[in-house]
Every structure is written in C-alpha cells, then in structure tokens.
Amino acid sequence: MVAALEAHGFGKRYPRRTWALRGVDLAVPDGSITALVGPNGSGKSTLIRSWIGFERPTEGSLLTGGVNPRRDRKGAVARVGYVPQSPSLYGGLTIADHIALAVTLRDGFDPTLAAGYVERLSIPLTATAGELSGGEQAQVGLALALGTRARILLLDEPLASLDPLARREFLHVLVEAVRAEGHTALLSSHVITDIEQACDRLIVLGKGHTLLDLSIAEALAHHRVVDGSGAPAIAAERVVGSFPSPGGDPLTLVRVRPAEAVPADGLADERPATLEEVVIGHMAAGRVRRAARRAEEAA
C-alpha cells in the first residue's frame, strides 16, 4: 500500500496542556477517501493541521505525500488542498476575487476548474463571500482546494455547520472530483451517514490515539451488535464496548473474524453493526480505557 499521508509515533503537546495526540501510527492509502472520526478534543484537527505544516510535532514524524512538513513546509503545502471547518473567506471579496487571489498565491492554480465547481452549484462568481450561506462558503472553500489540483485533500470537519442538502452536495462534488482525478482525501467528520456514503476507509481517533483503522467494508464486516450491555456469553476478547441505543437500551459492539457469518460463541440476537455503531462502540471503549488509565494513574 502506497501511503499519501503517514504518521509515525506522532505526538503533539501544546504549551501548558496535556498531550493532544500521542503515539499515533497510521497511514492513509493513496487514492482513498478516508474518514477521520473521533470525539471532540480527540486531536483530529491537530493531526490534519500538522500534515499541512500548521502545527509542529512534539514527537514522532509525519509525511505528506512523502514530504516531512516539519522540514519542508512549502513542499507539504504544495501537495495539499485544505478545507477548514470554517472556510474563513474574505467577506468583502467576490468569489471571482477569491479565485484570482488563489492564482496569485499558488503557482499552477487552475482558476477554470475552481470556477467550474462554483458555477455548477449555482453560486454566482460575482457574489461577495459575505452574501453566501455557510453551505455555499464551504463549497467555495472546497472549490479553491480542488483548484489547487493537489493530489491530497485535507478536509477538517467541513460538514459540521452544513444542512443535509448542503452536506450532500458538498460530498457529491468531493467524491466526484477525487474519483475523477485519482486524488486522496482525508475527511474529518462527526456525521457517520455521510462518511458511509463518501468514504472507503475509516480511522477512529480516541483522545490522543488511534482506536480503529480499517476500510469501511472491513469495519462493517468485522463487527456485530448484541442487545444488552452485559452479554456474558460472549468471550471478553470479542467485546469492543457498550453504549446506549437512541432509545436508551444497552448495546454491545463485538468483533468477528470476517469469515465468520455467525461466530462460534455468537448469540441469537447478534446482528450486523451499522457504521455508526462501529464508531460509537470504539469511542465508548476508548472512554472506558481512558477512565481505567486515569484511575490507575491516580492509584
């Protein structure tokens, strides 16, 4: 597997704070659309910002398209198109101005491509950024990132403030562009249904470390859900974590080997897990492990 983005023992600690991330080892395969999921404060943004050279690792190293952003930030930025959670456009500039600005800032920026994406969504190029809705601003941010023709796209929770239709349109443009050009995209998001539609790989970050790193298909094939939190008949090593259903009933996420349709110790009420349950189960497990570690440290 050729990796577009790599982290090797990566750790980041902000001054006078605890570690935001520590010991992160992961690789985002070239040509994939990978979802980066995790609870608030799990270090998703820190990791993404570090790949573009906006943050410096406290320990370990990163590679962005084979370039270490700490040693060669210019090289890393040149390989990346970045869409932050808030697109932070210039309120007084028109969209055409933003595209012109990008041309002045980046050699090889494709204004026709960027303008094409904007116009496809019926966003007038003559409108100022201040006149656009949050969804439209996010689309412009994505169009600017795509206009860079960078091989790697880093998207830091761009869907967070968008309504469902805007999210769908955003993902449609993203997936189409990435598939057409053979790019790599890393999409940080909380919205699991969107991830399931758009992404082919899933990375779940706990508070500061990796909890899961699988393809979406593997993530679904390797997990099942059992009603009830106790599930005493299931071997302990198969239990990932317990969490409540939307109705409040306890559920347990368990691992299965992909070849097993029903595991040897499987229960009658086991059923396939949804991607959301996989993510939540691993997050819940991460929380339990963290609490146990804290208790251990306190003791």
Partner 1 sequence: MLTATRLTYRINLFEIRAIGIATVLSVVVSAAVIGWLAQSGYASCTGDEFGNVSARCHSLAAIGDWVMRIDRTSVSLAAIFPFVAGLLLGAPLVARELDRGTARLAWSLSPSRLRWYVQRIAPMMVVLGIAAMAIGIVADRLVGAMLPTEDLANSFVGFHGRGVLLATSALMIGSTAVALGTVIGRPMQTLLISLVVGGLLVTAVAEVDQKLLMPSETVVDASNNYSDRNLYIDSRFQLPDGSLATWEELVALDPGAMENGTNYPNVSLIIPGERYRAVETRQAVAELGIAALMLVAGALVVLRRRPG
Phi/psi for 174 (5° steps) reads -60, -50
Q: Which of residues 56-85 bind partner 1 (CB under 8 A)?
A: 73-75, 77-78, 80-82, 84
- Give min distance, CB of 290 to partner 1, in A: 27
Q: Which residue has the tokens 């790989």?
A: 201
- Give min distance, CB of 19 to partner 1, in A: 17
CB 4 within 8 A of CB 30: yes
Residue type, 10: F
- Give min distance, CB of 152 to partner 1, in A: 12
CB 25 within 8 A of CB 57: no
CB 221 within 8 A of CB 258: yes
- Give min distance, CB of 140 to partner 1, in A: 10
Q: Which of residues 111-150 bind partner 1 (CB under 8 A)?
A: 141, 144-145, 148
Candidates 28, 102, 152, 173; binder of partner 1 (CB under 8 A) is 102
Extract the tokens encoding 180.
């057409």
Residue type, 166: A
Candidates 26, 37, 52, 62; binder of partner 1 (CB under 8 A) is 52
Of 49 and 120, the one with the shorter C-beta distance to partner 1 is 49
Candidates 3, 27, 101, 175; binder of partner 1 (CB under 8 A) is 101
What does the per-residue mask of binding to partner 1 show for 233-262, with x meaning CB under 8 A? ------------------------------
Extract the tokens encoding 83.
């869409």
SS3 137: helix
Query: Any contact of residue 191 with partner 1 (CB under 8 A)?
Result: no
Please provide the DSSP assignment of 144-180 as one string.
HHHHTT-SEEEEESTTTT--HHHHHHHHHHHHHHHHH
Which residues are near partner 1 by CB under 8 A? 49, 52, 54-55, 73-75, 77-78, 80-82, 84, 86-90, 92-93, 97, 100-106, 109, 141, 144-145, 148
